[in-house]
Amino acid sequence: MATPLEPWSEPVERVLHGMMRQVSGAGILMCPEHSIEHTGKNAGAVVMACELAGLGVGDGERLFEFAKQQSLRIAGRLEREGESTCWTFRPGRHDPFNCSNNVIDGGACSDALGAFLESFADRLSLAERTLLERACVLHAQTYLRYAAFDKGIPAQRAWALTGVAQAYRQSKHEVLRYAALEGAREVMELMHGDGSYPYHPLHENPGHPGASDVSAFYQSRPTAFTMFALQAVGEDSTGPAWAEPLRKQLRFLALLYGPKGIKLGGIEAKPWYHGAEYEVASHPFDVFALARGARLFADAQLARAAVNSFRAWASHVDAEGLPQSHKPGEGRHESYQCVTFWAGHSQWMARAIKDLLWIEREGLAGTPEIGGPAVVLFEDAQLARLENDRVVAWVRGSKPVNNLNHGSRRGGGLLRVVSKLTGDELLARDALALGDEAEWTRRVGIVSLFRGWILNREEIRFSIWKARNAMRTRGVWAAGGEPCFVLKHGLLGGASNKASTAFACAAKLEAVPMGVRLRTRLAHRGGNPVSDSRVQREYTVDGQGLLVRETVREGSLVPGKDYVVPLLAEDVSTQGAGLSFRLG
């Protein structure tokens, strides 16, 4: 007979058992795809074992022995960086096939060692305890407490804080507590005023400007890691220094979610990471942040988002315990990272179980939603969410310039529309922004290989690096596919004379009654606008769904020729230089 705990713990337990089956006779947990020991992801298995044992799930003795074996293995991988004063966990950045870096691996390793000691220190010998404490604290003292301030990417800074905070719990070194608190403040200073985070803030970013865009995939990491670190050092996250920014971050995250627990995928600084127009690989971080936030702030909206996100993630874990980032489908392909990455990240789902149980006991996720239309505009992210009883829709205004790999691929209009009655997607969209439904499109000018080269020349070089990785994991055909993909969609795609409102970068949103309006132009890929192509786009919600009004303000665009009305549109009307329809 199922217990109240089982719906939340069973998928996590399945993932952990999948990882445990990969352990060799020598006790090494080897990634079957990369043929490497992803130490930072294996650390996640330690945390899962500790959490499940603490909840009384599964064979407690087996979980302890596995967590001990892997913790000792992790501690044994701590090495000094040459003549540096830093001690880091191998492989980190030292093996390109590890697909990670020192701060991500190190934060996870110090965190996991601290979690294991918190759970099982009384079952260890003095020598074992000393070894694990030394590794946890030495890495944090010599590397993580500096990385928490040095790294340009907010998610990486915050990941460092998890290890710093756990090391403080083991050592009570006040410098680590100070680093955790000050590091958390600095991470929050990188937050936009509307609660969104840039993936790589422009002033910190020497690379492509698209990397400074908001990332639905990474949004929850700074929030989740900061809340975890604050609790670990004894700080109240609901205190005056933290509550307001945390609530802003959590609200932005929650409103990225649709009715079936799938996030908006069209707002993404790092689209090369994903093989589909959506992903659930980031849901473990999301669920931890949302569930913890729901409990801290007694927020029903966060609770609903947490529960829906968990269920969507669980539906993507197969019978063998292998998490998928997305389901197979036409036009989709494998995401960049391996299953071991997605499995290791499930530690944050394990840590969310207690909060999910609390939400269930309190009935918070079952609290009825407020009825009637609602429009929320996030000014900094230039993202609007429109909702009524029938639909949820997201509209993007301006955005950073993008290329194939960096920055959101679609702007200046509708990103996604979902039916609240059925959960169905009402607008055809794909990961490469090739679908033209609800967009103005026209061939303008000539094909320009120079334009394609300028946009994506660095991505061609990067594809060679990815090909080396693919050669080791998926063979020669997959390796050859990496540069071919960039040549086709980057060089030739960027060279195309196709211009679309989807490629616009400078269309600022403005509020109208129960909706938003924007004025934009067609643009070629990369955002270069086409003169004589000005259109006004208005999206509003009422009792019948989403009403779309399109009006040509300048140029010779023809509604029936240069605009693709969505297949599921209703009440379609074309009059002169304008058209309108409903979705929902």
pLDDT, tens digit, 9 for 90 and up, residues 271-315: 999 999 999 999 999 999 999 999 999 999 999 999 999 999 999
Query: What's 472's DSSP letter?
Result: H
Q: pLDDT tens digits for 411-425?
A: 999 999 999 999 999
pLDDT of 474 strictly over 90: no
Report whether 393 contacts 538 (CB < 8 A): no
pTM (two decimals): 0.97
Q: pLDDT tens digits for 521-542?
A: 999 999 999 999 999 999 999 8
In which element (H, E) is residue 55 found?
helix 39-55
pLDDT for residue 370? 60
In which element (H, E) is residue 512 found?
strand 509-512
- pLDDT category of residue 373 using cuts at 50, 70 and 90: confident
Query: What's 369's DSSP letter?
Result: P
pLDDT of 1 strictly over 60: no
Beta strands in 66-149 (DSSP E): 78-80, 87-89
**Which residues are registered as beta bridge partners of 579?**
550, 574
CA atoms within 13 A on the CB side of 163: 35
Q: How far apart are CA 553 and CA 550, in angstroms?
A: 10
Q: CATH number of 6-366: 1.20.120.330, 1.50.10.10, 1.10.3720.10, 1.10.8.420?
A: 1.50.10.10
- pLDDT category of residue 246 using cuts at 50, 70 and 90: very high
Structure tokens at 535: 């259109």
Q: pLDDT tens digits for 23-73?
A: 999 999 999 989 999 999 999 999 999 999 999 999 999 999 999 999 999
SS3 of 408, please? coil
Report whether 403 contacts 456 (CB < 8 A): yes
pLDDT for residue 330? 86
Structure tokens at 192: 């936009």
Closest CA to 266 of 69, 517, 35, 439: 439
Closest CA to 224 of 279, 283, 308, 275: 283
Task: Give the Cβ contact number of residue 460 at 10 Å.
Answer: 17
| Angle at which helices 243-254 and 300-314 cross, to 10° | 50
pLDDT for residue 371? 64
pLDDT of 484 strictly over 90: yes
